[in-house]
A and B are shown apart, each in its own frame.
Chain A
């Protein structure tokens, strides 16, 4: 097997304060291959955004990565010096944020902001970099790119701003693109346009993509592989079809059944009871057990490991036949 593009191994992040230490990311491992879209799914507070920030070396203070490795093509990013990391950011790894208005500078033109990235990382002069910007804006489907180059962010609509962000992120041909909730702030018709654009670009440029989202519809639309996170850990990982057809972990099942569907009958949604605990109140044993419909005494005391139960399908749950127990429980509660 070839070396993965990105290999995260046992990543742990801690925040130390006077009230004690919390570990919002606690032993996360997954890989991203070239040209592959990996969706990291979970509810707010599961550690998905922190994980992505740590890849860029941007964990906010007082947080720190205190264990684990993040390898980009074999190079451990956690060991890099600040200036080495700076060379990497925006060049080999880039990121698209949720809110395009707050991540673009309101007092510079689009051309100004985009050429900055290009001039910094590629040896191009002013004229060449403007041409490059126009080419990139054209690639992401912005009409009249020559005009947009001279415009300010407030003159563009939300969808256009997000296209500019994507163009900016892709302008140095990064190997890895991290998209943190790229469509959450957009309307559905615009979301469809942006998702389509991401699919097209991935095929053309062969970029590895980490897509961070809580929207399972977006996952169904663009992901190749899915990593489900809960309480700072990976609880299930598999191919996207496998996750939707045969979810094993009770949390994944709960998430899937709580999404209102566009097809089929309208019935009671299978909600997960309770809410996500904060990192400082994380329970002992399996972190999901207080909300889990099939939890046993074992789950309260012991912490399960992430195991490969089917080929390329990993889960962190004691109940090997999780499926059948879950179905049985569901039958019992409905009758």
Chain B
């Protein structure tokens, strides 16, 4: 797999700067606004053309909210989302609609994301009908072609979603996302709801499609092994912030943030021989409505010192292409 370093000056496809999303918390009879949940609190990411960027983190870290803002489905409270240099937050509805052809999505739950009253042909043909001027027969041919690309066949055109298994439904979702030849697909937990053998099928399919269509993928997941399998670069999020971002092998080989290290140690071992009795992290994720001061990880961090309680660390390039937000990055 080609890494970013080998390519000459990779083209930037999307750029996110200072992205924030604060949800209001209302209470009482008059819906008095009492506080904010800082779901995403200052995220900067650059997404290069043709790469797969993994975003990992535990539930409540803001990874899905970030994904929704990349898609333009959710308006950021602050910050810019640039697609090919143009700021999506300033676009009119019409412009946004045009740009959505290029930014597609695959959702987690293939049971909830397909309309049960539409046939496969209608489901996959819908984006073509809306965004292109193709005739009915052209659309049908394109749908058949797409079905074959994702490993289904033309006999299944007239079937409804309930007639398919979870893995097949996810394939329909992928065909739908591919229909308009998008530049980038945001995959939000695409394999978490599937059985292991089906997960492997879908991961292999996504990798194949990425090679063939030169797609850019953003792969949002909480399962680190799956993210490792598919990503070129990986961003780790904790309580609404990116705390580490680097290339895959660098992240797994030399994690610099204590949270990344703990996360890697928490993953069950590949083989029973490597069992240990270590418990990498104590305690639970703090409430995002009331995050700790300073470095938000300091309450669970084994290396925390006084400065961590007061000063928020910035995401800095500690090594080439290896960014981390920690006052005391780990040295291997």
Q: Contacts of B200 on A, CB cut-off 8 Å? A: 257-260, 269-272
Interface residues of B in 268-296 (CB under 8 A from A): 268-275, 277, 279-282, 284-285
Is A160 at the interface (CB under 8 A from chain B)? yes
> Is the CB of A85 closer than 8 A to any CB of chain B?
no
A83 adjacent to chain B (CB < 8 Å):
no
Task: Evaluate contact between B284 and A192: CB separation under 8 angstroms.
Answer: no
Interface size (B, Cβ < 8 Å)?
47
Q: Are the C-beta atoms of A254 and B197 separated by less than 8 Å?
A: yes
Which of B165, B167, B222, B280 is A192 in contact with, Cβ under 8 Å? B280
Name the one of B168, B207, B225, B262 contacting A262, with C-beta atoms under 8 angstroms.
Answer: B225
Closest partner residue, chain B, to A272 (CB atom): B197
| Residue A275 interfacial (CB < 8 Å) | yes
Nearest A residue (CB) for B207: A268
Residues of A within 8 A of B198 (CB): 43, 271, 275
Is A5 part of the contact surface with B, judged by Cβ < 8 Å?
no
Instruction: Kindly provide the distance from the CB of A106 to the nearest chain B CB, expressed in whole angstroms.
Output: 20
Chain B residues positioned under 8 Å from A22 (CB to CB): none
B263 at the A/B interface (Cβ < 8 Å)? yes
CA distance A159 to B272 in the complex (A): 24
Q: Could you say which of A187, A189, A261, A262 has the most chain B C-beta atoms within 10 Å of its C-beta? A: A189
Q: Within 8 Å of chain B (Cβ to Cβ): is A105?
A: no
Query: Roughly how many angstroms separate A270 CA and B229 CA in the complex, as a whole number?
Result: 12
Is the beta-carbon distance between A262 and B196 smaller than 8 angstroms?
A: no
A139 at the interface (CB under 8 A from B): no
Q: Which residues of A contact B252 (CB under 8 A)?
A: 262
> What CA separation (Å) do A269 and B207 show in the bound complex?
10
- Cβ–Cβ < 8 Å partners of A275 in chain B: 165-168, 195, 197-198
Given contacts A187-B285, A270-B200, is CB(A217)–CB(B277) below 8 Å?
Answer: no
Is A43 a contact partner of B195 (Cβ separation < 8 A)?
A: yes
A188-B267 contact in complex given A44-B195, A196-B279, A262-B228, C-beta closer than 8 Å: yes
CB contact list, B1-22 vs A, under 8 A: 1
| 0 or 1 for each of B151-190: is its CB under 8 Å from A? (1 = yes) | 0000000000000011110000000000000000000000
User: B199 within 8 Å of A by Cβ?
Assistant: yes
**CB–CB A220/B207 < 8 A:** no
The closest CB in chain A to the CB of B271 belongs to A244
The answer to the question of B58 belonging to the interface, with a C-beta cut-off of 8 Å to chain A, is yes
B201: interface (CB < 8 Å): yes
| Closest residue of B by beta carbon distance from A185 | B59
Measured between beta carbons, the chain B residues less than 8 angstroms from A266 are: 1, 228-229, 248
Against B, the Cβ 8 Å flags (1 = close, 0 = not) of A65-80 are: 0000000000000000
Complexed CA–CA distance, A260 and B252 (Å): 14
Complex Cα–Cα for A216 and B270 (A): 8
Chain A residues, CB < 8 A from B207: 268
Q: Which residues of A contact B214 (CB under 8 A)?
A: none
Asked if A220 and B262 sit within 8 Å, CB to CB, the answer is no
Interface residues on A, range: 35 or more
B301 at interface (Cβ–Cβ under 8 A)? no
Q: A255 interface residue, CB < 8 Å from B?
A: yes
Is the beta-carbon distance between A188 and B197 smaller than 8 angstroms? Answer: no
Contact B167 A187 (CB under 8 A): no
Q: How far is the CA of A220 from the CA of B267 in the complex (A)?
A: 11
Set of chain A residues within 8 Å of B280, measured between Cβ atoms: 189, 192
**Do residues A192 and B275 form an inter-chain contact, with CB atoms below 8 A?**
no
What residues of chain B lie closer than 8 Å to A195, measured between beta carbons? 268
Contact B277 A196 (CB under 8 A): yes
Task: Write out the residue numbers on chain A whose beta carbons fall within 8 Å of the beta carbon of B285.
Answer: 157, 187
Partner of B279, one of A188, A192, A218: A192
Of residues 210 through 245 on chain A, the ones whose CB sits less than 8 Å from some CB of chain B are 214-221, 223, 240-241, 244
Judge whether B272 and A260 touch: CB under 8 Å.
no
Closest residue of chain A to B229 (Cβ to Cβ) is A260
**Does A49 belong to the interface (CB within 8 Å)?**
no
B196 near A43: Cβ-Cβ < 8 Å: yes
Q: Mark A248-284, 1 if CB is under 8 A from B, else 0.
A: 0000001101111111101011111101100000000
Residues of A within 8 A of B277 (CB): 196, 199
What residues on A are CB-neighbors of B272 within 8 Å? 219-221, 223, 240-241, 244
A101 in the interface (beta carbon within 8 A) = no
Closest to A192 in B: B266
Chain A CB within 8 A of B226 CB: yes
B187 nearest CB across to chain A (Å): 15
Q: Which residue of A lies closest to B249 (CB)?
A: A266
A261 contact from B1, B225, B264, Cβ within 8 A: B225
A275 vs B200: C-alpha distance in the bound complex, in angstroms? 12
- The yes or no answer to B45 lying at the interface (CB within 8 A) is no
A122 within 8 A of B: no
**Cβ of A262: which chain B residues have Cβ within 8 Å of it?**
224-225, 228, 252, 264, 267, 269-270
The answer to whether A263 and B275 touch (CB under 8 A), given A187-B59, A216-B196, A275-B168, is no
B113 within 8 A of A: no
A255 x B196 contact (CB < 8 A): yes
Question: Is the beta-carbon distance between B224 and A214 smaller than 8 angstroms?
Answer: no
A188 touches B201 (CB 8 A): no
Specify which of A190, A270, A276 is in contact with B284 (CB 8 Å cutoff). A190
Determine whether the beta carbon of A218 is less than 8 Å from that of B268. yes
Chain B residue at minimum C-beta to C-beta distance from A221: B268
A205 to B320, CA, bound (A): 51
Q: Are A189 and B263 touching (Cβ within 8 A)?
A: yes
* Contacts A/B (CB < 8 Å), 5 sampled: A217-B270, A255-B197, A258-B197, A262-B225, A276-B195
9 tightest Cβ-Cβ pairs between the two chains A and B: A217-B268, A258-B200, A271-B200, A260-B225, A269-B200, A260-B229, A192-B266, A272-B197, A187-B58
